[in-house]
Amino acid sequence: RPAIVWFRRDLRLADHPALHAAAALGRPVIPLLIDETGGAEAESDGGAARWWRHHAVAALAAALERRGLTLLLRRGAAAAVLDEVIATTGADCVLWNRRYTPAGVATDRAVKAALAARGIEARSFKANLLFEPWEIATQSGGPFRVFTPFWRACRAAPLPERPLPEPADLRPCPDQPAGERLDSWGWLPTAPDWAGGLRAAWSPGEEGARDRLAAFLDRGLAGYAEGRDLPGRAVTSRLSPHLAWGEISPRALFHAVRDAMPAGADADKFLAELGWREFCAHLLFSQPDLATQPLRGAFAAFPWRDDPAELAAWQRGRTGYPLVDAGMRELWETGWMHNRVRMVTASFLVKDLLLPWTAGAAWFADTLVDADPASNPASWQWVAGCGADAAPFFRIFNPALQGEKFDPAGAYVRRWCPELAGLPDRWLHRPWAAPAAVLRQAGLRLGQTYPAPIVEHDAARRRALAAMEKCHGEA
Ligand code: FAD
């Protein structure tokens, strides 16, 4: 009797414990992918994530095809789809890799119980994190709220196991029913087709992930600790969307980095960034309302503003602050933004504009190809000062100084805001302060060819601090 392998955000063949276990059973395998409707994961995917998912699923289907298997595509509620596939194929075993979002956990628990009640074996595996959220606990047995002790506890735990190879032998199921067509699911934009920048920037799929990793080990890892904060240099791995869609497993990445560089600041720093990914998942698992509720209660009373015009200026990279605008344009064009710039743009929205972090997180969720239900809200809460282990609210980034520090030669700003390219470095991050003759020479007319600042940073900073004080006063 066949075994069903239910693929979710683990769109790969290598180091896929559920697939590996199915192959080891020696039975025919039905690889199944469900576009879940009615409550679970897929509903929350934004436009850029759907674009990625389409191509990642297509790549997985092609890889399975080369091994003689057909990825069965079905849309519906997970339990109903599984029931139907079991009924038509006689499968008596369903295997999957675990997920950790509140909706995903609830669905999986219910499915497992329903299958068990009918005598169908359901087995789940660890595949998408280095450590299960419940494996790492404080001394009193609870979840961590602060990153440094969390990561220390992770590093003291037994090393993640080595990744599994791709199963050598996969047997197809002769009576597998026909599935739906990926193209019919409408995950790609049509009119307008806004995905040209995404296509130019990325190769979704397991092979694309492997190529990125090879390039990173070759050119990014040595010097990562120092270079990772400079958005003008392509130092970081850009593996985040591949990790988010499970095209590479975190333990494969962990071991590849350790093998390439057994010790040293660069490897430590990179592994700690993987640690942040683990920490965010750990937070979401213990705080299911992470995406909507501030972890620090005092922020529930924060006097956020509501200003659709300023929100739109931020979204489209028209704030008049070059580093902020460059970041928001990179995001819109490629579906990704450098981490340093994510922090600066997020801080600008929340502190300079006093617009709610949930509005920023919603925009990121819709436009990021790596949009992650744990890392996105956790990072926004961190920047806003209301999260676990957050930067204190009163530490407010000055966007011009951040630009001068992290993009000193202006490579990043000149790339994404070409209308500023003619400005000398000295004025690039603060065009409003440049003498008229300099602006003229650079061909720049503030307010026409590039926006004047939509807020004045020092005044905005004072306004933010006053709002914070009011909120704490009421808490
Ligand atoms: P590298 O520097 O090469 O790091 C390797 C991997 O570690 C990344 O691919 C990622 O999986 C993980 N990682 C690195 N930094 C972080 C971090 N600070 N928090 C969590 N994981 C991290 N990351 C997402 O994957 N999805 C999101 O939706 C997301 N939203 C964010 C929102 C805000 C406001 C901020 C400030 C950060 C957010 N991040 C998010 C974290 C981080 O910016 C990205 O993971 C990183 O920029 C990805 O680039 P990279 O793959 O080149 O990273």
Mean pLDDT of 37-60: 85
Q: Rounded to 10 degrees, what is the CA torsion of 21, 22, 27, 30?
A: 180
CA separation for the pair 200, 38 (Å, rounded):
34
130 Cα distance to chain centroid: 16
Model confidence over 321-353: pLDDT tens digits?
A: 999 999 999 999 999 999 999 999 999 999 999
**Residue 40 pLDDT > 70:** no
Determine the pLDDT at residue 146: 93
Ligand 1 atom with the shortest distance to the CA of 370 = 26
Give, using CA atoms, the residue closest to atom 29 of ligand 1.
Answer: 376
Can you list the domains of the chain with their CATH numbers?
3-127 (3.40.50.620), 129-160+205-286 (1.25.40.80), 297-474 (1.10.579.10)
CA separation for the pair 304, 317 (Å, rounded):
21
How big is the chain, counted in residues? 475
Q: Has 416 been annotated as catalytic?
A: no
Model confidence over 217-245: pLDDT tens digits?
A: 999 999 999 999 999 998 999 999 999 99
Q: 143 CA to middle of ligand 1, Å?
A: 21
Model confidence over 123-151: pLDDT tens digits?
A: 999 999 999 999 999 999 999 999 999 99
Between the alpha carbon of residue 149 and those of residues 143, 332, 353, the distances in Å are 11, 36, 33
Give, using CA atoms, the residue closest to atom 7 of ligand 1.
Answer: 274
Helix (H, G, I), strand (E, B) or coil at 364: helix
Q: Has 339 been annotated as catalytic?
A: yes
